[in-house]
Amino acid sequence: MAPVQRIDGKAFAARMTTRIADEVRSLFDEAGLKPGLAVVLVGHDPASQVYVGAKHKATIAAGMKSFEHRLPAETSEDVLLGLIAQLNADPNVHGILVQLPLPAHLDASAVIAAIDPSKNVDGFHVVNAGQLATGQDALVPCTPLGCLFLLQDHLGDLSGLHAVIVGRSNIVGKPMAQLLLGANCTVTIAHSGSRDLPALCRTADILIAAVGRPEMIRGDWIKPGATVIDVGINRIPDGDSTRLVGDVAFAEAGHAGAITPVPGGVGPMTIACLLQNTLTAFRRKLPAKA
Ligand SMILES: Nc1nc2c(c(=O)[nH]1)N[C@@H](CN(C=O)c1ccc(C(=O)N[C@@H](CCC(=O)O)C(=O)O)cc1)CN2
């Protein structure tokens, strides 16, 4: 059997970012306007600080305007909702993202619901979710969108393939299922409590691991030749230090057809798709050409 291929999300994301930057430049030449992305971080979660910093860098690299709002951990919901109302009304802001997780005293659903759906570049608003579920043009959550791009790039047409998604979150599992249905896959959504999960996973041509548990998916859960997309980003102790692992036991997956590594797989695609969604939201606000 051929050795497993590594699906290089980092390289794909870099190519996407270059293409987006080219589009941003030519739109600026045509219309004299730039897309603007506002990212709101509440508190000091170390991983969130890294991701928000990476989003700022990527936004600038793509030629967009970046508006960063770093608020103290004790920020009240009223203050946060006030900032969101201000960003909703700001014509220079085309995309708004509130970094998750939020501190425990804040209600993430209420905060997401306050973001104008046409600027909700995370695609988390119920309007965005409803549009995706009913096959309308939607702003689609960045992580599953990135997974779909990697799958289509690697496999081409996905029609008729059986995709098993392990994980049922609103952010990854459910929108991933909608995207794969839209690409004509047969889709099963499973979770850590599904009966005989290993056997279910072994039926997958495409296996999406989005369960948030380090290396839970073992090698013998993977059908030979399957394409495995590992969404998990888990930091585990490693001697005196730590290291990142996915939800799949990568070292046991040598018989898969292809697999995304962690790091360097899905993670960078999340940020590239955020830029893509910001560009989409911006384009939708441009005046129609005569
Ligand atoms: N509002 C949102 N919050 C969160 C989202 C999101 O899409 N919207 N997703 C995650 C975090 N996330 C982006 O916000 C994110 C996670 C990981 C990466 C990434 O590139 N990871 C690297 C490894 C980085 C490291 O060393 O820690 C990789 O996988 O190669 C980018 C974005 C939760 N919150």
122 is catalytic: yes
When the pLDDT of each residue in the chain is averaged and rounded to a whole number, the result is: 97
- Separation in Å, CA 173 to CA 86, 132, 195: 31, 13, 18
Question: Ligand 1 mean position to 143 CA, how many Å?
Answer: 8
pLDDT of 137 reads 94
Residues facing residue 189 across a β-bridge: 165
| Conformational region of residue 160, where left means phi above 0, alpha means psi within -120 to 50, and beta covers everything else | left
Alpha helices in 171-290 (DSSP H): 173-182, 197-201, 266-285
pLDDT of 290 reads 62
Record the tokens describing residue 140, joined without a space.
Answer: 């689609």
Amino acid at 257: G
pLDDT in tens, 130-160: 999 999 999 999 999 999 999 999 999 999 9
Record the tokens describing residue 229, joined without a space.
Answer: 């997309």
Q: Is 208 helix (H, G, I), strand (E, B) or coil?
A: strand
Torsion of CA 246, 247, 250, 256, to 10 degrees: -130
Q: What is the ipTM of this complex?
A: 0.97
Q: Which helix (H) or strand (E) holds 110?
A: helix 108-114
**Exactly one of 55, 119, 174, 223 is catalytic; which is it?**
55
Question: Ligand 1 mean position to 235 CA, how many Å?
Answer: 12
Q: Which residues line ligand 1 (CB under 6 A)?
A: 50-51, 97-100, 122, 142-143, 233, 244, 262-264, 267-268, 270-271
CA proximity to 59, closest of 112, 148, 121, 111: 121
- Separation in Å, CA 29 to CA 26, 37, 98, 181: 5, 19, 30, 38
Mean pLDDT, range 118-123, rounded to an integer: 98
Predicted model pTM: 0.97
Give me the domains of the chain, ranges plus CATH numbers. 31-117 (3.40.50.10860), 142-267 (3.40.50.720)
pLDDT at 121 over 80: yes
Q: Is 243 helix (H, G, I), strand (E, B) or coil?
A: strand
Question: Ligand 1 mean position to 240 CA, how many Å?
Answer: 24
Band (pLDDT 50/70/90 cuts) for residue 289 is: confident
267: CB partners within 8 A, 6+ apart: 9, 233
- Choice from 6, 42, 51, 150 to test ligand 1 binding pocket (greatest atom count within 8 A of CB): 51
CA distance 102 to 104: 6
Q: Which residue, by CA, sits nearest to atom 33 of ligand 1?
A: 100
Amino acid at 254: G
Q: Which residue, by CA, sits nearest to atom 11 of ligand 1?
A: 51
Quote the DSSP letter at residue 265. S
Mean pLDDT, range 17-24, rounded to an integer: 98
Q: Which residue, by CA, sits nearest to atom 22 of ligand 1?
A: 267
pLDDT in tens, 175-190: 999 999 999 999 999 9
Question: Ligand 1 mean position to 272 CA, how many Å?
Answer: 11
CA distance 97 to 64: 15
Record the tokens describing residue 10, joined without a space.
Answer: 């980092």
99 is catalytic: yes
Record the tokens describing residue 29, joined without a space.
Answer: 């030449």
pLDDT of 287 reads 82
Cβ contact 153:178 at 8 Å? no
CA proximity to 93, closest of 42, 24, 39: 39
90 is catalytic: no
Record the tokens describing residue 264, joined without a space.
Answer: 């360097």
